[in-house]
Structure 1
Amino acid sequence: MHCTRFLVYLFLLACLTPTVGWSQTGADSFVVGDLLPDAPELAARGPHSVGVRSLTLTHADQLDVLHTKDGQTPRYNRVLPVEIWYPARIPARKTERVVYDQVMGSSNDPKRPLIPFTFDGRALRDAEVDRGDKAYPLVIVSHGYLGSRLLLTYLTENLASKGYVVVAIDHAESTFRDAGGFPSTLLNRSLDDLFVLNEMARLSAKGSKSFLSGLLDANNTGLIGYSMGGYGALNVAGAGYSAQAAKLFTQLSGGSTALDSRTMASPDYKATIDPRIRAVVAFAPWGMERGVWDADGLAGLRTPTFFVAGSKDDVSGYEKGIKAIYDGAVNADRYLLTYLNARHNVAPNPPPAASLKPGLHFDEYYRYAEPAWNERRINNINQHFVTAFLGMHLKQLDYASFLDVPQEANEKPWKGFKPRSCVGLEMRHNKP
């Protein structure tokens, strides 16, 4: 009898106890981007509700480097779907919740077929815009190869809640759904970023019929890139590619290559460095170990840059890769946050539940997961530091003390971190 009563008590207790991981919005299940109990201070969402909309942009008349033949390259239109998060007004009867459609797999790998799945976010699809007193800073997000515009929703939603308009790009021929040859990614990352910046400026102009009219300030833009997205973002911000990088391409008639215009030696390259981009966040940028940059190219980076890396990165490299980029960018005010013993996945969402199903290719899980870190914790730490860095440079907020911390987290607790939670991290900071 006593055993039966005890079991009934346990059952009732389980029914009444909230699920572990519930967020600050009071939902009873963990959603990508929610806070863990040890999340640092600035990881918390901001005061704005968040809306999300999808647009499709077309970058017309671009070089089709995947079809170069006999020294001739045809031209084509690059179709670029984008997802846009923004401060919104959420009616009382509506829930700030959205379902995102994503796929696992790789369209260029027959061993990894495309498998659709969905996951939840904390935004409302097509919500009314909250225009506020002035236009919001713009943040452009560029994914890795392969990836998608939905790979960093924990960060894109978080930033929108803090008063940014955030635009994430699906880079053509570089997503899970449409994987193409690598030369397309090498050439088009920086070009796509600049095109989207120009489109956002056009659509936000007064008199535009877009919902973006008057909403964002394209003259006050931050650029976030992960892996190949970091490769492109650094180039946009002034790190011209090397002559060695151009050799990755087939020569065109006349001896030039398609990438020549993005190299430091190009007379036209410096004119493309856009002063509207005020800050760059480069997660695990690829290319240094392959000779993509030399000393002259890295010295061209003058935009404030926040680097994020894993000390065991086996894709972009650390000592001769990401840290070498950081060390070589001698003319930039720059930070380097290092996750000790992390590999390459220091930027994406946590592994989706769909990736845990038995029988799937191991890389469906390891496209997101880190072997020595909790990805949700990485997400919270990234939310904290990206908030501080972009807040300083795009909103002129007094957040410097959150970044100017001792190099080793174990020496002294970093500002904003809860007691005993500040381990496994390093922060470097160098000024020009």
Structure 2
Amino acid sequence: MKYKVLLTSIALLILFFNGVQLPEANAQTTEFVYGDPLPDAPKLSARGKYKVGVQTINLVNKGQVDILNTKEGKDPLYDRPITIEVWYPANVNPQEKTVVYNEVMGTANDSLRPLTPFTFKGRAYRNAKPLTDQGNYPLIVVSHGYVGSRYLMTYLTENLASKGYIVAAIDHTDSTFKDANAFQSTLLNRPKDIRFVIDQMVELGSKGSKSKLQNLVDANNIGIIGYSMGGYGVLNVAGAGYSDALAGFFTGMTGGSTAIAVNTAKNEEYKKLTDERIKAVVAFAPWGMERGVWDAEGLTGLKKPTFFIAGSQDDISGYENGIKAIYEGAVNADRYLLTYQNARHNVAPNPPPAEALAPGLHIDEYYRYAEPSWDQRKLNNVNQHFVTAFLGQHLKNEDNSKYLELQENSNEKDWTGFKPRSSTGMELLHARPAN
């Protein structure tokens, strides 16, 4: 028996001297919630000091082009409904309970993938009172993929709010699980929705708005985050004008509508849309480069600091000729490219819900979230870490350079902020603006 004790003690010492952290005796375990840190989570992935409130806000963008009903090049107008979810630092009473989000799998009007309701827990508090004695907070606007929803990245939206941001995630009409419609609506409306929500959030957060968010939004410090088609949208809002090739394709698919022309690089009206309030951009797996959405001229218009995140095997947006080509072509932006080796397209979402594991369910419900070569919870933690570092640098004047200025190959040496042996399988590129 004494030899077993001795061997156990030696083993523990070896683990200790190799930097492995051991669990505390009688440590209490809790249910895992999306965004919670794994044992090897990097430093900045931890939640911040604030409790988080969350509320749903229904907006209407009046007088928009009804592209789904265009006929013979004539664009009717309609009032476009947009729902957003907003997370914010909050005062929370002890008796309040954390939120349960209501979501669906599947796709509207798809008989092979019917809508399937499910719920999942968060660590925010529904309609909690905002924390008003800490000044105002930078604004983050988040745009999901096609199809998706405002709840697709709660691991990140809750996390950022806990660090002192107001975070608004959009349900893009005609592009969610519940209302997916023809693709031309997504092509046209992504950047328009993002701009509209920025303006609405600034208005709601201004003095005298009488909303819960009044006096809480720092209108001069805004970040935008997009995934897939959301990436397509945020890059355009940030200055990467679309190509004439996209405009021509759009006109052909809509029977003559030229409505998307306002977002093309050569359009003088597009150049007037530059928003100086936007200080930082995060683009997860942005879609479009392989389809001719951008050309060299359009990408030179991106001048905002931008953090790209991609999988080296992305089979939706493409990598070498897709996301990496955008990164390389955005020569006037201070930009990073974080690449997860062997990952495909799903580098941004929450982990798959338990319901996605049900027998007989279409495998694409699982692969709408999951990565084949990575633990999604690990990806979430790494995303939290780098997005926190990048946004903190540009929106809060934090010096996070030690977490961003790293050797390119994570296999060569442990990256700063990562626990020993935990930063393998990644690459981080950094290019400064040419001008």
TM-score (norm 1): 0.92
Instruction: Quote the residue 1:110 is aligned against.
Output: 111
For 2:277 and 2:220, the matched residues in 1 are separated by: 4
What is the CA distance between 1:431 and its match in structure 2? 0.4
Instruction: Quote the residue 1:189 is aligned against.
Output: 190
For 1:282 and 1:292, the matched residues in 2 are separated by: 15
Secondary structure of the structure 1 residue equivalent to 2:259 = coil
1:37-58 CA-to-partner distances (Å, cap 9, x unmatched) read 0000000000000010000011
1:192-248 CA-to-partner distances (Å, cap 9, x unmatched) read 000001101111111111011001112210000000000000000000000001012
Q: State how many pairs are aligned.
A: 410
Instruction: Quote the residue 2:302 is aligned against.
Output: 301
Counterpart contact for 1:136–1:216, Cα < 8 Å: yes
What is the CA distance between 1:133 and its match in structure 2? 2.9
What is the CA distance between 1:421 and its match in structure 2? 0.5
Instruction: Quote the residue 2:7 is aligned against.
Output: none
Counterpart contact for 2:73–2:257, Cα < 8 Å: no
Aligned CA distance change for structure 1 residues 123 and 267 (closer, same or farther; 3 Å): same
Secondary structure of the structure 1 residue equivalent to 2:82 = strand
Instruction: Quote the residue 2:416 is aligned against.
Output: 415
Aligned CA distance change for structure 1 residues 267 and 251 (closer, same or farther; 3 Å): farther
TM-score (norm 2): 0.92
Secondary structure of the structure 1 residue equivalent to 2:161 = helix
Counterpart mapping for 1:342-357 below 5 A: 342-357=343-358
1:161-205 CA-to-partner distances (Å, cap 9, x unmatched) read 000000000000000000011010011000000000110111111
Instruction: Quote the residue 1:18 is aligned against.
Output: none
1:132-154 CA-to-partner distances (Å, cap 9, x unmatched) read 33210000000000000000000
Instruction: Quote the residue 2:14 is aligned against.
Output: none
Counterpart contact for 2:250–2:257, Cα < 8 Å: no
Instruction: Quote the residue 2:57 is aligned against.
Output: 55
Structure 2 residue identity aligned to 1:320: N
Indicate the percent of aligned positions where both proteins have the same amino acid.
Answer: 62
Counterpart contact for 2:403–2:417, Cα < 8 Å: yes
1:68-87 CA-to-partner distances (Å, cap 9, x unmatched) read 11121111111111000000
Structure 1 residue identity aligned to 2:86: I
Large movers: runs of 4+ above 6 Å: 252-256
- For structure 1, which runs of at least 5 residues remain unmatched after alignment? 1-20
Instruction: Quote the residue 2:203 is aligned against.
Output: 202
What is the CA distance between 1:400 and its match in structure 2? 1.3
Structure 2 residue identity aligned to 1:36: L
For 1:225 and 1:98, the matched residues in 2 are separated by: 24
What is the CA distance between 1:90 and its match in structure 2? 1.1
Structure 2 residue identity aligned to 1:210: S
Counterpart contact for 2:105–2:117, Cα < 8 Å: yes
Instruction: Quote the residue 2:177 is aligned against.
Output: 176
What is the CA distance between 1:411 and its match in structure 2? 1.2
Structure 2 residue identity aligned to 1:132: D
RMSD between aligned residues? 1.8
Structure 2 residue identity aligned to 1:113: P
- Specify which of 71, 74, 78 is matched with residue 72 of structure 1: 74
What is the CA distance between 1:93 and its match in structure 2? 2.5
Deviates most, 162-171 or 195-204: 195-204
Counterpart contact for 2:70–2:255, Cα < 8 Å: no
Secondary structure of the structure 2 residue equivalent to 1:166 = strand
What is the CA distance between 1:252 and its match in structure 2? 11
Counterpart contact for 1:71–1:252, Cα < 8 Å: no
- For structure 2, which runs of at least 5 residues remain unmatched after alignment? 1-22
- Specify which of 3, 7, 30 is matched with residue 32 of structure 2: 30
For 2:28 and 2:213, the matched residues in 1 are separated by: 30
What is the CA distance between 1:256 and its match in structure 2? 6.4
| 2:394 equivalent to 1:393 | yes
For 2:127 and 2:369, the matched residues in 1 are separated by: 28
Secondary structure of the structure 1 residue equivalent to 2:422 = coil
What is the CA distance between 1:250 and its match in structure 2? 2.6
Instruction: Quote the residue 2:165 is aligned against.
Output: 164
Secondary structure of the structure 2 residue equivalent to 1:169 = strand
| 2:287 equivalent to 1:286 | yes
1:269-316 CA-to-partner distances (Å, cap 9, x unmatched) read 011011111000000000000000000000000000000000000000
Deviates most, 215-224 or 139-148: 215-224
